[in-house]
Amino acid sequence: MDLNKVGSVEESIFTAKVNSIKAAYTGDDKKILVSHVGELDQDKVNTISSLVETQMENLGVSKSAVKKIFNIVIETLQNICLHGEKDNNGYQMTYFIIGKNQNEFTIFSGNIITNIGAEKLNIRLNSVKSLNDVELKKQYMEVLSNGELSAKGGAGLGFLTIALKSGNNMDFEFQVLNKEYSLFTLQSKVLG
């Protein structure tokens, strides 16, 4: 599978997704603050996260909102680094975009996942999304009390953290690309 082959079905679906997000942020009071399309590694995580911090501070966003956004950014990006699938050439098809609409910040991300992985993640995310604030905090404490890091380094707290920081304003979608892979997209909102 060559994900970055221009004109392939996979690449067209991916590009259409990125373009539709960007298109939604044209007009008054709307702006794309950060946009990264392509591969991700820890160096890029560092660069993107410090760019986010600077941008938010320049906009005069409250310290607590900056922290919430920063939290979501790190969890989202590190999730992709740990779990995002690569194609046969080692290419990782991902996007990461932050859009601002008045005082609402939306963090969008997309990455490739196996169809089997998508099924599992769908169940997990639906269960997180069904929890209210008290239940989220309870599950967070359970994982924190009993949790250990997986072989891949995952904590099991990433999506719970995103849900908690966004006030469970989190949406996701899985779009099948071919018989092996799907595009996993996630968006979460924070008010600045």
Partner 1 sequence: MKRLELKETNNTPNVLFDTEKNIFVIDGKSFPEDSKEFYRPIIDYFDVLKNEKLQELVLSINLFYLSSSSIISVKQVLLKLVELNDKGVKVKVVWSHDDDDDDIKKTGEDYQKITKLPFEFKVN
Which positions touch partner 1 (CB under 8 A)? Answer: 42, 45-46, 49-50, 63-64, 67, 70-71, 74-75, 78, 81, 141, 144-145, 147-149, 153-155, 157-158, 160-161
Q: Which is nearer to partner 1, 19 or 46 (CB)?
A: 46
**191: part of which helix (H) or strand (E)?**
strand 181-191
189 vs 24, 72, 107, CA distance in Å? 15, 9, 6
Nearer to partner 1, 18 or 155 (CB): 155
Phi/psi of residue 11, each to 5°? -65, -35
**Least distance (Å) between residue 83 CB and partner 1:** 13
Eight-state DSSP code of residue 147: -
| Residue corresponding to tokens 């046969």 | 88
**Any bridge partners for residue 35, and if so which?**
97
d(CA 170, CA 191): 13
Minimum CB–partner distance for residue 57 and partner 1 (Å): 14
Q: How far is the CB of 121 from partner 1 (least distance, A)?
A: 16
Q: Which two tokens stand for residue 100?
A: 């601002």
Of 9 and 143, which has the nearer Cβ to partner 1?
A: 143
* Residue in 82, 137, 74 with CA at minimum distance from that of residue 107: 74
Q: Which is nearer to partner 1, 30 or 124 (CB)?
A: 124
Residue among 28 and 148 whose Cβ is closer to partner 1? 148
Q: Which one, 169 or 175, has the nearer CB to partner 1?
A: 169
Closest approach of partner 1 to the CB of residue 158, in Å:
5
Least Å distance, CB 104 to partner 1, is: 20
Nearest to 110 by CA among 29, 46, 192, 22: 22
Q: Could you tell me the smallest distance in angstroms from the CB atom of residue 6 to partner 1?
A: 31
Whether 177 and 13 have beta carbons less than 8 Å apart is answered as: yes
